Chain A
Amino acid sequence: DSGVTQTPKHLITATGQRVTLRCSPRSGDLSVYWYQQSLDQGLQFLIQYYNGEERAKGNILERFSAQQFPDLHSELNLSSLELGDSALYFCASGQGNTEAFFGQGTRLTVV
C-alpha cells in the first residue's frame, strides 16, 4: 500500500458527461501528480500541483482540469467526455523533488 488513496476505483459514464476523480496523497506529501494510462499511449503526465498551486502541465486537454485543496487532496475533473478518454487515471504524490508514489488508479470507461 503506497498510502495514496484514489476514489472511485471504477467509473462508467456516457459520452458528453462530466466526472470528478479524487486523490488523497500520502501524509506529509505536498506534491500531487495526475497521469493517464491507456493501452496505446502508456503513462502520460497530465498535471502537477505543489502545496495548492499548479507546478507543471503536461498533455492535459482543455476539457480536463484539476485543483489541490488546502488539506492537500486533489481532484481531477473531466468534462465533455469522449470514448477516447477511457483509460486508467493515476494520482501520485511525493515531496516534490524525488520519487512519486502512485495510487491504485481509477478506471474510467466512457460508453
Chain B
Amino acid sequence: EDQVTQSPEALRLQEGESSSLNCSYTVSGLRGLFWYRQDPGKGPEFLFTLYSAGEEKEKERLKATLTKKESFLHITAPKPEDSATYLCAVQDPLNQAGTALIFGKGTTLSVSS
C-alpha cells in the first residue's frame, strides 16, 4: 500500500497558467513532509519541509501547504524553467531510529512558453 501518493502523474501548463500539485499521505504520526524538485538525470533538490497542519512555506513562484491528510504545491505564473519532476516525501514511521524518507512517484511538470 502506497503511503505517499502524488497526483497528477503529469501536468502540462502554459507559461503563466497557475496550478497545484497534490500529495496525499497515509502515515500516522507525521514527523515531516518534504518537497523536492528533480531535473532529468540529476539529484533531487530540496525545496520545503512542513511539520504541522496549517503550515505554509513559499519560495519564488512555489508555495507548499499542509493539511492532516495531504499537501499541495501551488505554482503561481509558472515559467518554462519550472519544468521538472516534483517529489513529495514523508519520514518513514517504521524507522523510528532513523530519518529515512518514503517518496511518492512524483508529478512531472512541463511548462511551455
Contacts and interface: CB of A to CB of B under 8 A. Distances in A.
B100 A45 contact: yes
Interface residues of A, number: 29
A29 B103 CA distance: 22
Contacts of A104: 42-43
Contact of A97 (B42, B87, B99, B106): B99
B103 A42 contact: yes
B43 A99 contact: no
A94 B99 contact: yes
Contacts of B42: 104-105
A96 B100 CA distance: 9
Contacts of A90: 43-44
Nearest to A100: B101
A99 B102 CA distance: 13
Contacts of B36: 102
Given A90-B44, A100-B46, A102-B44, A42 B100 contact: no
A58 interface: yes
Contacts of A92: 43
A97 B51 CA distance: 12
Interface of A: 2, 4, 31, 33, 42-45, 48, 50, 55-58, 88, 90, 92, 94, 96-105, 107
12 contacts: A2-B45, A4-B43, A43-B44, A43-B87, A43-B103, A48-B99, A55-B97, A56-B99, A92-B43, A102-B44, A105-B43, A107-B41
> Closest 10 CB pairs between A and B?
A56-B98, A102-B43, A43-B103, A56-B95, A45-B100, A55-B98, A48-B98, A42-B105, A102-B44, A104-B43
